[in-house]
Amino acid sequence: MPRTGSAPSRRMPLARWAPVLALLLAGGAAAEEGIPSLTGQPGDAARGRAIVATRQRGLCLLCHAGPFPEERFQGDLAPSLAGVGTRLTEGQLRLRLVDGRRLNPETIMPSYYRTEGLVRVGPAWQGRTILSAGEIEDVVAFLLTLRD
């Protein structure tokens, strides 16, 4: 039941129904909320690709394979990043990067933008997130371009 407005009747035009239909047709993933931009600025996809492809920065290729032909020995612990831009929305991608444990408490995906609840963090990393807010926006912008 909608929270606001009158109950729909058969005499309502299709346009009123379109957003609801679109949500239903998009499937279960659409029911999960994403999170909004961390910076309010659009991310840079080229910088994002550099972060993802450089395993010491993003760590991504240790677990994920993806469309990076110049990078050998990609891991197989996590789903491939190929096409992820078609499967997940910007908000959903951001949620998984920031704190994937909100979706799956058992995940091996590190939380790239969380410092609370961590145990015995090494001194070099205490109080720091794995990626900065701007870097996360860059990675999200890049992942959205992966549409194959």
Phi first, then psi: what are they for 42, rounded to 5°?
-65, 145
Query: Residue 98 interacts with another protein (CB under 8 A)?
Result: no
CB-based contacts of 96-105 (< 8 A; 24+ apart in sequence): 97/131, 97/136, 97/139, 97/140, 98/35, 98/38, 98/136, 103/32
Query: Residue 69 interacts with another protein (CB under 8 A)?
Result: no
By CB under 8 A, the count of residues binding another protein is 27
Query: Residue 62 interacts with another protein (CB under 8 A)?
Result: yes
Structure tokens at 85: 């831009």
Structure tokens at 84: 């992820």
> In this complex, which beta carbon is closest to another protein, that of residue 60 or of residue 144?
60
Binding mask 14-53 for another protein (x = CB under 8 A): ----------------------------------------
Candidate residues 8, 36, 75, 79; the one interacting with another protein per rule CB under 8 A: 75
Q: How far is the CB of 137 from another protein (least distance, A)?
A: 20
Structure tokens at 121: 């963090």
Please state, in angstroms and rounded to a whole number, the distance separating the CA atoms of residues 131 and 59.
10
Structure tokens at 103: 């979706």
Q: Applying CB under 8 A, which residues contact another protein?
A: 55, 59, 61-63, 72-77, 101, 106, 108, 110-111, 117-125, 128, 130
